[in-house]
Amino acid sequence: MVQIEVSSTANISLQVGDTAWYVPTTSVGNQSYGSDPVEIGIITGITDGYIIISDELSTPDAGDFIMFSKDKTANNTSLLGYYAEVELKNNSLNHAELFALSSEVAPSSK
């Protein structure tokens, strides 16, 4: 069993049954670099600022980026509503271009 401490600002959609992942990170100067995501396991509990994973496949180190994914069979839908607000940030000092941004949307009040 592994317990991962999360801040009070953790994503509110995190719930038991989600899959926890981490990305090992390395810092060079003030830049952090990650590699491919590694599955930690299925979240079996969320309590007192911790997420609990009973049968972990891998354990993250301090400083690794933690994320989660939803089970597609229980959450199989598109975005709902008529509008979306998106904020994109780039903190790189190098030139960057965004070529496309798209989404699939399903009206929710019909």
Query: Domain locations in the chain?
Result: 2-76
How long is the chain? 110
For the cut 70, the answer to whether the pLDDT of residue 40 exceeds it is yes
Per-residue pLDDT at 77: 61
- Residues 24/34, Cβ–Cβ less than 8 Å: yes
- Please compute the mean of the pLDDT values over residues 57-62 and round it to a whole number: 84
CA distance 5 to 39: 17
Look-up of token digits 């271009």: 97
- Please compute the mean of the pLDDT values over residues 64-68 and round it to a whole number: 86
pLDDT digits (tens, 9 = 90+) for 81-104: 667 788 888 888 888 888 888 877
pTM of the model: 0.59
Percent of the chain exceeding pLDDT 90 equals 8
